[in-house]
Amino acid sequence: MRSRYSAYTKAQAHYLLDTWHASTRPDELDLENERNTRWIGLDIKRCEQTGPESATVEFVARYKIAGRAYRLHEISRFVREEGRWYYVDGTFPEKD
């Protein structure tokens, strides 16, 4: 999760695609609009092993666009294949 966050901060689409599971991976990832995004922090809320080769990570990523602050709160699913972890998908928890 931390490496994928770092890849977003550096607009490294190739790394994000390489760490995205083939079953849900988009054909391409256009991060051109992300150039105006300033990532300012990642807070891992919880990690949970959900099976021998699966896990979830709940996180909050903070960023700014044109000086305005935003939060991305997601629960991401990962699977491990041949020793490597891959992002599958994510859901957004309901707001309190």
Tens digit of pLDDT for each residue in 73-82?
A: 999 999 999 9
Tens digit of pLDDT for each residue in 17-65?
A: 999 999 999 999 988 877 789 999 999 999 999 999 999 999 999 999 9
**2-91, what's its fold?**
Nuclear Transport Factor 2; Chain: A, (3.10.450)
Domain ranges within the chain, ordered by starting residue: 2-91
Residue 32 is predicted with a pLDDT of 83
Residue 96 scores a pLDDT above 70: no
Note every long-range contact of 64-71, with CB atoms under 8 Å and residues 24 or more positions apart, other chains counting: 64/37, 64/38, 64/40, 65/36, 65/37, 65/38, 66/36, 69/40
State pTM to two decimals: 0.91
3-state SS assignment for residue 19: coil
